[in-house]
Structure 1
Amino acid sequence: MILLDDLEPYFDALFEHELDKINSIYQIFLDDFLSNSFFINNKKVIIKNHYSTLKGYEKYFETFVHIVTWKSSKAGKRVFDFRRANRVHWIRSILEQRNDPRIKYFQYAEGDGALRDYYWFDEKDYIVIVEQITVEYLLVTGFVIDNRNRIQKRYEKYLDGLK
């Protein structure tokens, strides 16, 4: 486990065409989420382990592709995001250290009604999202925050609801 203070991007530079680097990150992802199970509140953290249908990413599991890409309204599809990809190795560390006071936790009901758990490492502007599916937690995504205000509002709304 990497300590929160030691979380840094994996590569100095990362580009979509650098398949050796993408494959290195994918191996970390597989080690973190397939080879070495872990639990949140006694519920196993799982991933979507079917292969992606996104062109160019068919050899990678769906959850990994969702993490390393973002939905571009300009392109009309998911596109590679080096900041997301370069931080895949942060996800498990943040979830394992979720009780650290620097990790802000909140729940948010998505537009489709899904209630998701957010683990926000504010210091590094990074968030990990999981969703309870029956007796397990599904890793939904992890990403660098672009819209800090939106996340802050969701967090404050959650805290207000606890009062």
Structure 2
Amino acid sequence: MKHPPRSGNRLPDFRRAERLPWARAMLDHLDDPAVLHWDYAEGDGDIHTYVWLQALDYLIVMKKYHDGRRRLIMAFWLEYENKRRKLAQKHAQRLL
């Protein structure tokens, strides 16, 4: 049985893309107190590294592997207060 092709075209979100260069700058300046970063054990057992520039509501999420390498999962601007609250909770429950 042949699988149907993927439906729909993914269109670029230019407003989101404007902020993408922030990711590299944030990762290069993890020692800056304005950049919160922590590891968190997700419900499925994966460890995710969160990097949050609170002042500008920008978040980077990476998957952390057992050998210490990380892979970018997503980077985006936080639009909603409930997402900020959930991140603050994850920060409070971070791995030490």
TM-score (norm 1): 0.45
> Does the CA-based 8 Å contact 2:38-2:94 persist in structure 1?
no
1:130 aligns with 2:62: yes
- The one-character-per-residue Cα deviations of 1:28-85 (angstroms, maximum 9, x if unpaired) are xxxxxxxxxxxxxxxxxxxxxxxxx7865xxxxxxxxxxxxxxxxxxxxx55322221
> Does the CA-based 8 Å contact 1:108-1:154 persist in structure 2?
no
Residue of structure 2 equivalent to 1:117:
49
Structure 2 vs 1, CA of residues 159 and 83 (structure 1 numbering), >3 Å: closer, same or farther?
A: same
How many residues in Structure 1 have an aligned counterpart in Structure 2?
Answer: 90
Unaligned runs of 5+ in 1: 1-52, 57-77
- The one-character-per-residue Cα deviations of 1:81-107 (angstroms, maximum 9, x if unpaired) are 222211111111111111211112233
1:89 aligns with 2:28: no
What secondary structure is seen at the aligned counterpart in 1 of 2:32?
coil
Residue of structure 1 equivalent to 2:3:
none
Moved over 4 A (4+): 53-56
Structure 2 vs 1, CA of residues 161 and 104 (structure 1 numbering), >3 Å: closer, same or farther?
A: closer
Residue of structure 1 equivalent to 2:72:
139
TM-score (norm 2): 0.70
> Does the CA-based 8 Å contact 2:39-2:94 persist in structure 1?
no
- The one-character-per-residue Cα deviations of 1:98-125 (angstroms, maximum 9, x if unpaired) are 1211112233344543221111001111
Residue of structure 1 equivalent to 2:36:
104
Question: Quick one: percent identity of the two aligned structures?
Answer: 31
